[in-house]
């Protein structure tokens, strides 16, 4: 063999070593090992919706796939009919007015926008305010921008909302971007309108762009609809909101999301995407528009299903003595671990001894320690069974 070929090797860019470790890949491998051994694992550790996409949305895609118009490249910024459908849904659900062409950007799933935004707005060394615990992909975007993170602790005694007064004057002045996420992953907390009004004032005072991650915006319980950041007066002047069809319509694999709000940020997102994508397949855009403009009964039924699962699960938790507050939104539960355990040790114990998979809270940040995240992503019977299996370990008084 040619010596030069033999000695050739690939040297990754420095940024690859700076990306955060995908904590949940380890969880998946642990679960897969138990399944491979033949165990019946109740997997409540991931955030993947367990129900299929509603039939009328699937039928819309089937019909649209025959349309030759969609076999060509889509417009770079997406079809106007989808942006109009998005604006229609926000007007109906939140009474928020959006210009479809200047205040809406179509994304390849919400994650894409969340990871790209720091690269669009931050220079190396700039500061981004990030919730702790929070969605780990915020960290990925900041790392790719070679920026820095300042964590905002989310604690139970502050309703899992960031305390802006606790942010140091230096960090307030250096920060250029802030991520928020309500209904929250992983804590399941919801935010009131007053919090968003305070956020707008704080952002305006310090020149901080706001990124509201509203992935679970449709999922609120006990008859209460979660509040959108864009409902706060002045929100569009200081930031954008990210929404996805993944959770609302069980369309996780379809990869349809959008960013809404500040015209300058929307323009920059579109500019970035011009260099990376051509836009979603037109048939998927047509089906997404169907989801947004047709009857929302399927969404109401989905929320009712999660609420029923929540109530069944928490009824069983009460029976085994595991005390926790019912989640007001999202499809997650945020549960305290018993004394004497770390979140990882407790999650490992549940998987090995009860064959129930949960996500250790520390995977979402240092302030996630002491909790585990449980997804309401199995049937009521399986949710109860998970609680009863855990109860047999006699960990609770």
Q: What is the CATH number of the domain that holds 212?
A: 3.40.640.10
* Mean pLDDT of the region 377-382: 96
Confidence of residue 312 (pLDDT cuts 50, 70, 90): very high
Q: Is there a single domain that holds both residue 311 and residue 269?
A: no
**Is 241 in contact with 200 (CB distance < 8 Å)?**
no
* Mean pLDDT of the region 368-383: 96
Q: Is there a single domain that holds both residue 107 and residue 216?
A: yes
Domain boundary among 269, 293, 317: 293
Q: Domain of 317: which CATH number?
A: 3.90.1150.10
Residue 19: the pLDDT is 85
Residue 396 lies in a domain: no
| Domain count of the fold of the chain | 2
Q: Is there a single domain that holds both residue 27 and residue 89?
A: no
Q: 122 lies in which domain range?
A: 55-293
**Is 73 in contact with 85 (CB distance < 8 Å)?**
no
Residue 79 lies in a domain: yes
pLDDT tens-place string over residues 230-275: 999 999 999 999 999 999 999 999 999 999 999 999 999 999 999 9
Q: Is there a single domain that holds both residue 30 and residue 139?
A: no
Residue 2: the pLDDT is 67
Q: Is there a single domain that holds both residue 74 and residue 33?
A: no
Please state, in angstroms and as integers, the Cα–Cα distance from residue 140 to each residue in 6, 15, 180, 287, following that order. 34, 11, 15, 30
Whether residue 166 is predicted with pLDDT greater than 70 in this model: the reply is: yes
Residue 9: the pLDDT is 83
Residue 24 neighbours by CB distance under 10 Å: 16
Domain boundary among 266, 293, 320: 293
Please state, in angstroms and as integers, the Cα–Cα distance from residue 219 to each residue in 43, 245, 330, 394, following that order. 21, 12, 5, 33
Q: Is there a single domain that holds both residue 44 and residue 22?
A: yes
Q: Is there a single domain that holds both residue 131 and residue 273?
A: yes
Rounded distance between C-alpha atoms, residue 91 and residue 310, angstroms = 29
Domain boundary among 240, 260, 293: 293
Q: Is there a single domain that holds both residue 211 and residue 264?
A: yes
Q: Is there a single domain that holds both residue 267 and residue 332?
A: no
Give me the chain's average pLDDT, please. Answer: 95
Q: Is there a single domain that holds both residue 231 and residue 257?
A: yes
Token couple for 20 = 């955060």
Instruction: Give percent above pLDDT 90 in the chain.
Output: 89
Residue 150: the pLDDT is 97
Based on C-alpha coordinates, what's the Rg of the chain?
Answer: 22
pTM for the predicted model, two decimal places:
0.94
**Which of these, 244, 229, 254, lies nearest to 179 by C-alpha position?**
229
Residue 76 lies in a domain: yes
Residue 397 lies in a domain: no
Residue 20: the pLDDT is 83
pLDDT tens-place string over residues 83-118: 999 999 999 999 999 999 999 999 999 999 999 999
Residue 375 lies in a domain: yes
Q: Is there a single domain that holds both residue 237 and residue 363?
A: no
Instruction: Give percent above pLDDT 70 in the chain.
Output: 99
Q: Is the dihedral of CA 80, 88, 250, 138 positive or negative?
A: positive
Confidence of residue 3 (pLDDT cuts 50, 70, 90): low
Rounded distance between C-alpha atoms, residue 114 and residue 141, angstroms = 7
Q: Is there a single domain that holds both residue 229 and residue 192?
A: yes
- b/e per residue, 137-160, with b = 16+ CB within 10 A? bbbbbbbbbbbbbbbbebeeeeeb
* Mean pLDDT of the region 62-68: 96
Instruction: Give the chain's end-to-end CA distance (angstroms, integer).
Output: 69
């Amino acid at each position: 063999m040619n010596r030069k070929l033999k000695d050739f090797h690939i040297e990754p860019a420095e940024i690859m070593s700076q990306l955060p470790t995908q904590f949940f890949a380890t969880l998946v491998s642990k679960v897969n090992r138990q399944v491979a051994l033949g165990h019946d694992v109740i997997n409540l550790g991931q955030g993947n919706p367990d129900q299929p996409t509603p039939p009328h949305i699937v039928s819309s895609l089937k019909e649209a796939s025959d349309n030759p118009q969609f076999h060509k490249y889509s417009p770079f910024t997406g079809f106007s009919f989808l942006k109009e459908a998005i604006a229609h849904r926000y007007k109906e659900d939140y009474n928020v007015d959006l210009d479809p062409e200047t205040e809406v950007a179509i994304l390849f799933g919400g994650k894409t926008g969340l990871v790209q935004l720091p690269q669009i707005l931050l220079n190396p060394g700039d500061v981004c305010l990030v919730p702790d615990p929070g969605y780990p992909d915020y960290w990925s975007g900041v790392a790719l921008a070679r920026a820095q993170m300042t964590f905002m602790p989310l604690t139970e005694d502050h309703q899992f909302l960031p305390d802006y007064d606790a942010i140091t004057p230096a960090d307030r002045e250096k920060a250029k971007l802030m991520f928020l996420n309500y209904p929250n992953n992983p804590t399941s907390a919801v935010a009131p309108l007053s919090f968003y009004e305070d956020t707008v004032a704080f952002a305006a005072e310090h020149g901080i762009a706001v990124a509201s991650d509203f992935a679970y915006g449709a999922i609120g319980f006990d008859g209460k609809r979660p509040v959108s950041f864009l409902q706060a007066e002045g929100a569009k002047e200081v930031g954008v909101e990210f929404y996805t069809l993944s959770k609302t319509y069980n369309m996780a694999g379809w990869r349809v999301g959008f960013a809404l709000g500040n015209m300058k940020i929307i323009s920059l997102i579109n500019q970035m995407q011009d260099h990376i994508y051509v836009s979603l397949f037109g048939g998927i855009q047509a089906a997404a528009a169907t989801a947004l403009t047709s009857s929302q009964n399927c969404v109401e039924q989905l929320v009712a299903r999660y609420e029923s699962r929540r109530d069944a699960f928490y009824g069983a938790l009460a029976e085994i003595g595991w005390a926790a507050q019912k989640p007001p939104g999202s499809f997650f539960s945020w549960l305290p671990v018993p004394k004497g355990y770390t979140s990882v040790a407790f999650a490992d114990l549940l998987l090995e001894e009860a064959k129930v998979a949960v996500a250790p809270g520390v995977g979402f940040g240092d302030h996630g320690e002491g909790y585990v995240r449980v997804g309401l992503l199995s049937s009521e019977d399986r949710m109860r069974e998970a609680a009863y299996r855990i109860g047999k370990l006699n960990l609770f008084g």
